[in-house]
Structure 1
Amino acid sequence: MSDRFELFLTCPKGLEGLLAEEATALGLEETREHTSAVRGMADMETAYRLCLWSRLGNRVLLVLKRFAMKDAEELYHGVLDVEWQDHLLPDGTLAVEFSGHGSGIDNTHFGALKVKDAIVDKLRTPSGERPSVDKLNPDLRVHLRLDRGEAILSLDLSGHSLHQRGYRLQQGAAPLKENLAAAILIRAGWPRIAAEGGALADPMCGVGTFLVEAAMIAADIAPNLKRTRWGFSAWLGHVPAMWRKLHDEALARAEAGLAKTPAWIRGYEADPRLIQPARNNVERAGLSDWVKVYQGEVATFEPRPDQNQKGLVICNPPYGERLGDEASLLYLYQNLGERLRQACLNWEAAVFTGAPDLGKRMGIRSHKQYSFWNGALPCKLLLIKVTPDQFVTGERRTPEQRQAAREQAEQMDTTPPVADQYARVNKNGNPVKPAPAPAPVVEQARLSEGGQMFANRLQKNLKTLGKWARREGIDCYRVYDADMPEYAMAIDLYHDWVHVQEYAAPKSIDPEKASARLYDALAAIPQALNIDKSRVIIKRRERQSGTRQYERQSAQGQFTQVQEGGVQLLVNLTDYLDTGLFLDHRPMRLRIQKEAAGKRFLNLFCYTATASVHAAKGGARSTTSVDLSKTYLDWARRNLSLNGFSDKNRLEQGDVMAWLQANREEYDLIFIDPPTFSNSKRMEGVFDVQRDHVELLDLAVARLAPGGVVYFSNNFRKFQLDANLAERYAVEEITAQTVDQDFARNGKIHRAWKIQAR
């Protein structure tokens, strides 16, 4: 074989430039960048050195041959032409990887099979002995890349991907690969900072990948020093003496590096489940003297106590993959920015994020940004100098401009709400699971002009509605309902929690602007309502259409107890789109409580049976609550039990229409609040409130005792009560009497009727 080879080094997308610099420094010549790869010329010693020392590469491929091919037959003969006896014994094992397509080969498995057949046929002995396939630990790994009619046949010297250093046997849900973490550290300037004696802190360290990679860089440890098996280990072209020399040199450098005073490298992680896995990874890397991991929130992490110590804060915050993550992620970034300003003055910071817009919410400007890919996800690395001149100090407005903004917000009172454009969805609920909430912070976030206007509106509403709520003994109510069209959301207070429902923006709204306004609002809410950030929960209401149903996605099972009209009720703010308590029906529930004394009460589509609790509180002789959902009936049972009303209060699971058709009992007071639409698997057919309300009301009135009353309500914005019902029954619309002060702005939140037999 020649003393000089063509090498291909593969890497994650976006690392090509850094890998080219690294490979050139390690001896690669004539270096050229390709997509997810670097190409160059080198001798065998350089090839070994790249395997041992490359922090950024995935594989080191030694090119055996390039040849043109038009079809599978030419592929076979091109591979067959190689002197495979120089590389593998007839009784050896091999694995073949094939990439690319064309020239009649559109299936990589077929291409790999043709390559394997050619190698096996070349090495087959007269006695029939031939190499076998071993995909896990072969003696020889062969790679063929098909590129525009040219076949590039290579040996894989690395074996398993070089990013697999061997220390990370335990990992979190979405860890960074080790070579991507190393690339981020290099871009962030860690080699320079470490050489100057700087420290490193990761306030969201997960299982410690940044920490270990940083320590290996600082201690001059070859990233693959501990690997025992390589792609060249059983290769016949392997030069053991040359490899041992390079490996011994790397061992000596590592020993000298570890003998130095350890760099101060610390990780902090809020999730207690990740602390021990992180420490185990550090220990396997042999870096326990260099790296320490502690449990701690972002808002409380401390850099080195020595105030003269400077260094790098580096982190990879969660990206947010679920509806409802926006609030916790925004506050997480705010906490990070606040902590940097408070505790890391004159340090450098590197934030690797899949949500760069959130990076702007930290209150510190980045002086450089680099694009990376984390798998298929485009990401940004934000580099920050934590100095006062980089702090975002808020808006530069005169007092007159700020006053004008406040007056403009107050004038928005006359703007019609946009919330009534969206129908509240059925009571099955839309499952959401907010990300874990961060710890409280010390200073308030700086608000944009729009955010300040939004905060002014919230404070004004809170002042007015808070007095009313205290006077009425109400501790859960709506404080904002799309009062400002740009901020289309509903905000409800549940004692000391804030429940935010963002209305899906119309398609005409620029998604980036909608996102920015959401972040503005989320930044303003804790300040305006004087609520801790960790107690803000956000969900998104989509427009209801077709047969879309909202199903549970979360099972946190965290219930909060609230008070209304002398009863205690359980709400769940996290697991469903709705909380278990429709706040707009508060007046109807209180009316039922006042009228229920001595009556038999029937609650259809009962949901969590809050109306039944009120009826029992009012002295109802009995209550019967019907719903199709076992989950909601269990919730209803807890609500009744919480108030001591377990006796004489029946819960029935079933399809309401079928249940009414089969039931022959009489009731004095019936409440019906059906969903707009339902197609549960447990019911026959589909329920549509506009189409089916006449049959529903006929069945319900048939169950009324003499002098009985049906209260019927629904929230379908386009609903029209059938005019013929007024010919058979006494029908009175009572909507205005069933809307409290906190819903006065939204005239279409629901409609309600009182219906009696003539």
Structure 2
Amino acid sequence: MTDRHELILTCPKGLESLLLEEATALGLEEAREQTAAVRGFGPMEVAYRLCLWSRLANRVLLLIQRFAVADAQTLYDGVHAVDWAEHLTSDGSLAVEFSGHGSGIDNTHFGALKVKDAIVDRLRTSSGQRPSIDKLNPDLRVHLRLDRGQAVLSLDLSGHSLHQRGYRLQQGAAPLKENLAAAVLIRAGWPRIAAAGGALADPMCGVGTFLVEAAMMAADMAPNLKRERWGFSGWLGHVPAIWARLVEEARQREQAGLARPPLWIRGYEADPRLIQPAKNNVERAGLSDWIRIYQGEVATFEPRTDQNQKGLVICNPPYGERLGDEASLLYLYQNLGERLRQACLGWEAGVFTAAPDLGKRMGIRSHKQYAFWNGALPAKLLLIKVSPDQFVTGPRASGPQPTATPAMEPARLTEGGQMFANRLQKNLKQLGKWARREGIECYRVYDADMPEYALAIDLYGDWVHVQEYAPPRSIDPEKAQARLLDALGAIPHALGVSQDRVVVKRRERQSGTRQYERQGSQGQFLEVAEGGVRLLVNLTDYLDTGLFLDHRPLRLRIQREAAGKRFLNLFCYTATATVHAAKGCARSTTSVDLSKTYLDWARRNLSLNGFSDRHRLEQGDVMAWLAADLGEYDLIFIDPPTFSNSKRMEGVFDVQRDHVALLDQAMARLAPGGVLYFSNNFRKFVIDAGLEARYAVEEISASTLDEDFKRNGKIHRAWRLQARQ
């Protein structure tokens, strides 16, 4: 075998130019970039050095043969032509990886099978002995890439991907691969900063990947020195003497590096569950003397206090995956930017993000950006010099500071964001006086008052519930997102609430039972007061909160009129109207809903107020239940959904189509002199004229809207029905 080989180094997409520089420095000759790979030439010593020292590659492949492939047979023949006895014994083990397609081979499993058959058939002895298959730890790993009729046949010298350094046995929910973390550090200038004795801090360190990779660079540690088994370990072409010399050289460099005074490298993590796994990873990497990890929020992380000590702040903020993550992520970025401005003057920063628009909200300009791919997710590295000339200046929100972070400065707002903040403060001043006078702690403070900020904002005590109306398709999604971020930046200061008490949801046109589906699983219930009763709301887990604020006047009317009455609540939801009826001394209550979840919630609402007996909760399809019920009721409340279907329900309920049948059946259950209240929020609803002929029907919509909903008179419509005398 020749001692000059063609080598192929694979890497994550976007790392090619960095890998080219690294591989060239490690001795690769005639190196050139390809998509997610670098090719070049070198002796076995260079191949081994790349395996041992590359911080960026996934695999090091040694080219065996290139040949044309027209069909499955020519694929077999091309592989079979190789003298495999130079690489593997007949009693050895083998693993094959096949990628690409074409030439009639569109299934990678079939392609791998043909390659395996060709190798095994070439090595089969006269006695029938042949190599076995071992996918985990084979003696030889073979890789074949098929691209436009050309086969590239290689040996995988690395074995398992080189990003698997071996120290990270415990990881968080969204781990950053080690070689991508190393690439981010290199782009952020860490090798230069470390060489000058600089410090490093990661305020969102997770399980410590940035910290370990940074310390390994600073201590001159070969990233793959601790790996015990390689792709070449059982290969017949392996030269142990060369490998042993390189390993010994790497060990000596590591010992010398670790003997130097450690650099100041610190990590901070808000999630207490990740602290011990991070420390375990640091210990496995042999870097406990170099790295310290503390529990702490972004707003409290401390860089080194020595005024002469400068360094790099590096972080990979979490990605938003749940409904409403925009708010928490925005405030995270704002807090990060504020902390950099307050405590890191003169430092450099690198923020690796899949949401560069949020990066703009930090209040510091990035002087350079690099594009990366984190798996299939496009990402950017924002490089920042933390100096006053890079701070974004502009108008600031006025108003109260958030209670949980009093040291934080108000967010810097755009002109539109400042106008939005002004409107919020104006509304709060006007509606706040009314709410305090009426003893109301849950109310709507904003409802798309400014069309470009299409939000509904409700106060629940010191919590804020924000619903974003989905923008029409004619609106540029990027502009809509920018306006949402403007609004979220303004809300805490304009309303005087803590950033961590802002919950965001997107309200779109709902179909089926989507409005009842669980959106999260935090299970956090908040107790609120209304009209002398206590009610439970959940701001995070469902699209709606369990309390329709616009129906407050109707609930209070029911409370006033319920004394001695038999009350029926259809489509009862969480039975808040039932609680008010019970508070008003109703003789009995019956509440019907299809959802077991909401009936359980209703039971908790009743129990919270000390009501348990004489209050019946029925699960069932309202239309079917009414048809079977023989009871008589003095006071009935019906607030149906616009549209509903369910596996437990016969057919589909449509309020416009079905309201006549619904009201006729309900009126048949109404006692003489009884009253039925009917409401719905379908804006195009038209009540059937025949109902007005059969019953005394009075529209009472205007009297069922409190001050917080009067600017949106179409939020719902309501009627009072009685039998004609």
TM-score interval, smaller chain: over 0.9
Kept in 2, the 8 Å contact 1:67–1:152? The answer is yes
Alignment of 1:26-45 (within 5 A): 26-45=26-45
Cα separation, 1, equivalents of 2:427 and 2:496: 13
Take 1:439 and 1:699, find their aligned partners in 2: how far apart are those partners?
55
Partner of 2:440: 474
Alignment correspondent of 1:408: none
TM-score (norm 2): 0.98
Q: Does 1:464 align with 2:441?
A: no
CA distance in 2, matches of 1:11, 1:446: 40
Query: Which residues in structure 2 correspond to 1:160-239 (within 5 Å)?
Result: 160-239=160-239
Does the alignment pair 1:93 with 2:59? no
Structure 1: distance between partners of 2:113 and 2:404: 53
User: What 5-or-longer segments of structure 2 have no aligned partner?
Assistant: none
User: Which residue does 2:719 correspond to in 1?
Assistant: 753
CA shift for structure 1 position 530: 0.7
Output the amino acid matched with 1:237: G
Residue aligned with 2:361, SS = helix
Partner of residue 742 from structure 1, selected from 703, 708, 712: 708
| Alpha-carbon distance change, 169 to 746 in structure 1, aligned in 2, over 3 angstroms | same
In the other structure, the counterpart of 2:274 is 274
**Partner SS state of residue 724, structure 1:** helix
- Give the conservation status (yes or no) of the 8 Å contact 1:557–1:572: yes
Q: CA deviation at 1:108?
A: 1.4
Who is 1:388 aligned against?
Answer: 388
Cα displacement string for residues 30-88 of structure 1 (whole angstroms, at most 9, x for unaligned residues): 01100000000101100000000000000000001112222222221211121111110
Determine helix, strand or coil for the equivalent of 2:663: helix
SS of the aligned residue for 1:578 comes to coil
1:322 Cα deviation after fit? 1.9
Aligned residue for 2:182, secondary structure, equals helix
Cα drift, residue 544 of structure 1: 3.0
Q: Deviations over 1:70-115 (max 9, x none)?
A: 2222221211121111110110001111111112222211211111
Pair 1:567–1:546, CA change in 2 (3 A): closer
Equivalent position amino acid for 2:201 in 1: A
Decide whether the 8 Å contact of 2:124 with 2:130 is kept in 1.
yes
Confirm or deny that 1:625 pairs with 2:591: yes
Are residue 128 (structure 1) and residue 128 (structure 2) matched? yes
Q: Is the 8 A contact 2:512 2:643 kept in 1?
A: no
Q: Does 1:24 align with 2:24?
A: yes
Q: CA deviation at 1:550?
A: 4.3
- Confirm whether residue 299 of structure 1 aligns to residue 299 of structure 2: yes
The answer to whether the Cα contact below 8 Å between 2:512 and 2:644 also exists between their aligned partners in 1 is: no
SS of 2:617's equivalent?
strand
1:426 corresponds in structure 2 to none
Partners of 2:584 and 2:78 lie apart in 1 by 90
Q: CA deviation at 1:654?
A: 1.4
Specify which of 626, 639, 653 is matched with residue 673 of structure 1: 639
3-state SS of the aligned residue for 2:179?
helix
Going from structure 1 to structure 2, the CA distance change for 1:500 and 1:441 (only over 3 Å counts) comes to farther
Pair 1:243 & 2:209 matched? no
Which of residues 470, 477, 486 is equivalent to 1:504?
470
User: Does the alignment pair 1:686 with 2:679?
Assistant: no
1:725 matches 2:691 = yes
8 Å contact from structure 2 (residues 570, 640) kept in 1: yes
Q: Is the contact between residue 315 and residue 350 of structure 2 (CA under 8 Å) also seen in structure 1? A: yes
- Structure 1, unaligned stretches of length 5 or more? 397-401, 404-436
Per the TM alignment, residue 545 of structure 1 is displaced from its structure 2 partner at its CA by: 4.7
TM superposition shift of 1:547: 7.3
Q: Which among 557, 562, 565 is matched to residue 599 of structure 1?
A: 565
Counterpart-to-counterpart distance in 2, 1:190 and 1:273: 28
Task: Name the counterpart of 1:407.
Answer: none
CA contact (8 A) 2:511 2:644 kept: no
Offset of residue 561 of structure 1: 1.1
Task: Write the distance in 2 (CA, Å) between the matches of 1:395 and 1:39.
Answer: 52
- Deviation of the 1:306 alpha carbon: 1.7
Q: CA deviation at 1:118?
A: 1.3
The alpha carbon displacement at 1:146 in A equals 1.4
> 1:313 matched to which residue of 2?
313
Q: Distance in 2 between matches of 1:751 and 1:342?
A: 52
Residue by residue over 1:400-440, the C-alpha shift from the partner in whole angstroms, topping out at 9 and shown as x without a partner, is xx99xxxxxxxxxxxxxxxxxxxxxxxxxxxxxxxxx9967
3-state SS of paired residue (2:101): coil
Separation in 2 of the partners of 1:180 and 1:630?
Answer: 47
What CA distance in whole angstroms lies between the structure 2 residues aligned with 1:303 and 1:54? Answer: 30
Q: Is the contact made by 1:732 and 1:753 (CA closer than 8 Å) also made in structure 2?
A: yes
* Residues in 2 aligned to 1:652 and 1:587: alpha-carbon distance in whole angstroms: 25
Identical-residue share of aligned pairs (%): 83
| Cα RMSD, aligned residues only | 1.5
**DSSP-derived class of the 1:741 partner:** coil
Number of the residue aligned with 1:652: 618
Equivalent positions of 1:182-581 (< 5 A) are 182-395=182-395, 442-545=408-511, 550-581=516-547
1:502-555 CA distances to partner (integer Å, 9 max, x unpaired)?
000000000000000000000011111011111110000012357755411322
| SS of residue in 2 equivalent to 1:684 | coil
Worse overlay, 535-544 or 349-358: 535-544
Name the SS of the counterpart of 1:215 in structure 2.
helix
Q: CA deviation at 1:647?
A: 2.4
- Determine helix, strand or coil for the equivalent of 1:94: strand
> Which residue is 1:150 aligned to?
150
Letter in 1 for 2:190: W
Question: 2 CA distance for matches of 1:382 and 1:274?
Answer: 25
* Superposition misfits of 4+ residues, deviation over 4 angstroms: 437-441, 545-550
The residue matched to 1:100 in structure 2 has which SS? Answer: strand
One-letter amino acid of the structure 2 residue matched with residue 89 of structure 1: T
Q: Deviations over 1:144-190 (max 9, x none)?
A: 11122221111111011100000111111110100000000000000
Query: For the residues of structure 1 that align with 2:121 and 2:648, how far apart are their CA atoms?
Result: 62
Q: Do the aligned residues in 2 keep the contact of 1:63 with 1:154 (CA within 8 Å)? A: yes
**8 Å CA contact 2:512, 2:646 repeated in 1:** no
Conserved 8 A contact 1:571-1:580: yes
Secondary structure at 1:378 match in 2 = strand
Q: Which amino acid aligns with 2:366?
A: S
Whether the aligned pair in 2 keeps the contact of 1:610 and 1:639 (CA below 8 Å) is yes
Q: 1:631-653 CA distances to partner (integer Å, 9 max, x unpaired)?
A: 11111111111112222222111
SS in structure 2 opposite 1:63? Answer: strand
Once the two structures are TM-superposed, the CA of residue 705 in structure 1 deviates from its matched residue by: 1.0
**How far apart, in 2, do the equivalents of 1:606 and 1:167 lie?**
55
What letter corresponds to residue 15 of structure 1 in structure 2? L
CA contact (8 A) 2:323 2:519 kept: no
Change in Cα spacing, 1:537 to 1:617, as seen in structure 2 (3 Å) is same
Partner Cα distance (1:495, 1:484) in 2: 24
Aligned residue pairs, count: 720
8 Å CA contact 1:488, 1:502 repeated in 2? yes
Deviations 1:691-739 (A, max 9, x none): 1111111111111111000000000111111100011100000001101
CA shift for structure 1 position 689: 0.8
Summarize deviations over 1:228-271 as a string: whole Å, max 9, x none: 10011111111101100000000000000011111111111111
What residue in structure 2 maps to residue 412 of structure 1? Answer: none
Q: Cα gap change, 1:577/1:664 in structure 2, threshold over 3 Å: closer, same or farther?
A: same
Post-superposition Cα deviations, 1:122-159, rounded to whole Å, max 9, x if no partner, equal: 11111111111111110000111112222111111101
> SS at 1:306's partner residue?
coil
Check whether the contact 1:367–1:383 (CA below 8 A) recurs between aligned residues.
yes
